[in-house]
Each structure stands twice: as structure tokens, then as C-alpha cells.
Amino acid sequence: MKAHWKLLATASAMTFALACGSVAQAGPVSMDDILNDAKTTADVVTNGLGTQGQRFSPLKTINKDTIKGLVPAWAFSFGGEKQRGQESQALVKDGVIYVTGSYSRMWAIDAKTGEKIWEYEARLPEGILPCCDVINRGAALYGDKVYFGTLDAKLVALEAKTGKVVWRKEIDDFKAGYSYTAAPLIVPSKHGALLVTGVSGGEFGVVGRVEARSAETGETVWIRPVLEGLMGTLLGKESTMTGKANETWPGDLYKTGGGATWLGGTYDAETNSLFFGTGNPAPWNSHLRPGDNKWTASRLAIDPDTGDIKWGFQTTPNDGWDFDGVNEVVSFDLAKDGKTVKAAATADRNGFFYVLDRTNGKFISASPFVKNITWAKGIGADGRPIYDPANRPGDPSKSTDGKKGDTVYSVPSFLGGKNWMPIGYSPDTKLFYVPSNEWGMDIWNEPITYKKGAAYLGAGFTIKPLFEDYVGSLKAIDPATGAVKWEYKNKAPLWGGVLTTAGGLVFTGTPEGYLKAFDAASGEEVWKFQTGSGIVASPVTWEQDGEQWIGVASGWGGAVPLWGGEVAKRVKFLNQGGAFWAFRLPKNLAAK
């Protein structure tokens, strides 16, 4: 009842503000708005500043010469004791900012003043099982609604103007380990606008899948399980099987085989393809599931009309290190050998930067983007890793006590050469900007059996830094050659996404609290601002009243302080927080 009255009070206060004309109102978001988001400057209506996920803005008022005039305009506190990690990328439409926060909350904020328009707080049950902090990574806009997912595996559609609930749908049973943290994706289809989501919960043996719902009603249109042998559905009826049953999975192990699609996806209109990454196979103990275990640790192209898989590319077959394969697939045009290829790039947790042909999934190249990789000797001409058998955690069934296999030291750690934090691509410099981390881990396998709602790992681990002076590393990578053009080293791990602009800048945040800007060509640091808490979110930029603005959520948390081992000890002094910061370049300073 308390939450109900709080929502009513919020709605009542907002109605008063609107009547006075003092608060911005956002208009409806069309499919054209979504598909053209990468080209427009007055709004940000998609996660990734465009469905392809390049995170590039054509705005260039703020550049390396004018950025010295960039100043904070306002800061909005997320309030209360629910601080923790703030990993949301904000959306901006008609002077209204939509940003989600820890514990499944969302705010609509006046972009000019920082004044709260409305607030929604999900009523979370006891017993939720989030893997890696109580974070949320953002929302989706379409029509007159704003959508986001909650930690108890629900999808919520709210009225964009009021924050009132339009519908609420269950993704799955949170008691079985399902949760949801990603930003949903809106795409066109012959069934109308679709709201496309994945699932979280790979550490509990849930089965990964991608789902498409009607953006208007929330009703399911199709479901695509990502593990071979499982049947998809279309309009409530069985459609096609994923792969071929038992081709790379023995027995019934695929039924609790993981492959969670927890980071969400991207969409390429040119090929009409959804690109989703899939997570680690379950359990972590790879000796219990011999074979490639498709399609875990993979990238999949999916037809938005049918939910059928067009192609798949597996980055870590028979993953034994929790390297996942969920990291975002970014579409771009690759100029190489005098030709232009419709390509896609992805920086994998396993430490290799991959370039694929996005029309058919064919392997183009892979290059290491972190140092001292141990688990593989390299990537073969067919795109498969060349494993080093000595660096796979040992089989506990062959140990003297049957309780613990041989420990190996693996680089990178299971938190990855790059984790969830999104990369960016600049069509101007033709470089990718990758927030990465240099760390390894001691890892060993243990016996494990599946139990619904219980952790399903079969492994132990301790993360260790590779170098004394830094862990985080922002790298500029040439996708044509794999060469690292420049590198910025940061003492603490980098855990936030990047933003690139036509002003020749790259923005990202640090756990130490700084929002920083770098020269996109040289890597020179040209500006920084201390926000008071660690930044583990993705910055955005937009134009407002003829001025360029930058916005970012601030609030230290996420997986590092929970799972980071010796690295977590290094950063335990960092302060938690919860705020959204907005910066502007005043017109009079932009002209100088």
C-alpha cells in the first residue's frame, strides 16, 4: 500500500507541474526516430545512440579546443539508501531525460533544470537472485511508452508522460535464478514494433533465450532458445529447432546449459538482423559437458520477423573460464584490401577482438586486445581458438580426493578482457574504443549438480591484477589490422561505457569518479570532472537550445566489488553514490 500511495503522490505532483507549464513533456517516439537515432542530435532514443550500437554522435560543438568551457549544469540525486552500482545509459526526448537506477527504479527528469518529473520504483520481492549487483542498464522508448526490466524478471511499460504502469509482464520465475538488467531493444517487423529482450541468470543454470513482444501490448510474438535441441515458437506455435539435438551437447545437459542473453542486443536495418550474444555454458566445470556446447559463448544473428537464427559464431567453444559471449555486436563498414565489407565487431571477454561479416557470420579476423593471454595460443584461420590444454582448469574427478581439480592461472580473468561496458566506434577515425581490463585469475573446478535456484558453477577462483600500476585500459583499435593505436591506463578497473563524437572526442568514466574526455586520434586526455562517486555507466550527448550537452550516471558498484578478489581489495575505499550529472557548453564559450 505504501508504494501505491507513493506512486499516486508522484503522479499528482507531476500533474501540477505540467499544469503550470514548468516541466518538459516528451512527444511520442516513432520507428523512424529509432532507426535514425544515430543521425539526429536533439535526442537519444536508443541504447547505443543508434540501433547498431556505435555510440557515435555527429555533434561537434564540443571538441578538444572548446571542451575547456564544458561545465556542470545540474546533478540529480537518485536518493535514499539504494545507491549501489549505477550502470544506466540515459535516453533523451523533447527535453526529458529517462534514466534507470539500482533496485529497478526509473526517473523522468527535466533536461534543462534537473527537476524530477516522475519516479517509478518496482516493488521487488524477497529472494531475488541477481548475479552481479542490483543494477539496471537502461530503458527503451516507443510511441508514448517507456520500457524497462526489473530484477525479479519482469518487463514494465510505463506512460512516458506520467510514469503510470500500462502493462507488466513476467519474463520468467525469479526463484529459479532468472533476473533482468539489460536495456530492451525496439525493432521493426512484419508483426509491428517489437520489444526484444534476453534473460539473465546463467550462473543458476537457466536456459538462454531471446524473446520478442508486441511493443503495444506486451504479448509474446516469438521465442528463440539459444541452446541446440530446443524448439522456438512463433505466434504461440512451435516454429524451428535451434541447431541439431545433441550435436555438441551430450545427453540432457543442454536443458540446464546456461547461455544467458543477459546483455541485450543490437539491430542492423541493412541486413534486417538482430545481433545477440550468449553467455557461459553451465556449469563452469567444462569436464561435465564435453563438446562445443552450442550456442553458448556465441554471437547470433536472428530474423526479427520469425525468430529464426540466420547464423552463429562461437567465440569460446566448450568455455571453461566463464568467458561468456554476450558482449555487444557493433555493425560498421570495414574498408580493407580496397573493398568495403558489411562487418560487425565485438570485443570478447576472452581477450580477443573479433571482426565478422555481418551478412553471413563468416570470420574475418581476431586479435588480442589485452596482454599475456594464457587460455589459448591464438585464434585459427577458421576463427576457432587454439587451446592450450595445460591452461584449462583440471578435472576434479581425476584428482586424488575427487573434490578439486588442478588450479591454473588464466588470463584474462572471468570478468573478462572486456565485460558488459559498451565499446564505441567512430566513422571519422575508423577506430573502435574499447574499455578493457588487465587481470588474471587462479581457477579450479569442483564437482557440482544442478538444483533449481542454486548457484551452478562447479568452480572456484581468485582474481589478481596483472600489473601494479594499472588494471583499466581504454584502447583505440583499428579493426582493419587489429593494431592498438593508443592506450590510456587507469589504476582501477574500467567498468563504464564510451561515447564518441564528431568533435573528435571519446568520453568515458572511471571508478575513481572522473568523467574524462580524450582526443579520439591521439588518446590525449583533454578534460575531466570529478562526480563524487565511481562512474560505471555510459555517457550520452544531445543538443538543447543550440548548445551541446553531456550526461552520465554516477554511482560505484557492479561486479568488481562483489567478485573482484584481490582487485576488489584495491578499490574498497571508493565511495558509493547515485546521481545523474548533466554538463553543457554555453554558446558564448562554444564560439571562442
Sign of CA dihedral 16, 18, 24, 29: positive
Sign of CA dihedral 130, 135, 137, 143: positive
Q: Which three cell numbers stand for residue 393?
A: 582448469
CA distance 242 to 278: 13
Report strand pairing: 56-57 vs 498-501.
parallel
Residue of 43, 268, 322, 348 marked catalytic: 322
- C-alpha dihedral sign at 8, 9, 10, 14: positive
For 190, residues 6+ apart whose C-beta sits below 8 A from its C-beta are: 305
Q: How many angstroms separate the CA atoms of 123 and 125, rounded?
A: 7
DSSP string, 175-195: GGT-B--SPPEEE--TTSSEE
Give the residue among 553, 552, 550, 554 at the shortest CA–CA distance from 534. 554
Q: Where are the beta strands (DSSP E) in 111-162?
A: 116-121, 140-142, 145-149, 154-159
DSSP secondary structure letter of residue 578: -
Closest by CA to 526, choosing from 507, 509, 539, 547, is 507
User: Is 308 noted as a catalytic residue in this protein?
Assistant: no
Q: Classify the phi-psi angles of 6: left when phi > 0, otherwise alpha if psi is within -120 to 50, otherwise beta.
A: alpha
Task: Give Cα separations from 222 to 155, 225, 235, 309 (angstroms).
Answer: 16, 10, 6, 12
Q: Write the CB contacts of 44 (distance below 8 Å, at least 6 apart in sequence).
A: 37, 90, 91, 92, 93, 540, 541, 542
Place of cell 527503451: 140
* CA-wise closest residue to 91 among 193, 185, 11, 194: 185
Residues near 93 by beta carbon (within 8 Å), at least 6 away in sequence: 26, 27, 29, 43, 44, 45, 141, 160
Longest dimension (CA), the chain: 76
Residues 487, 508: contact at Cβ < 8 Å? no
Residue corresponding to grid cell 516528451: 26
- Which amino acid is residue 246, in one-letter code? N
What residues are annotated to the active site?
A: 322
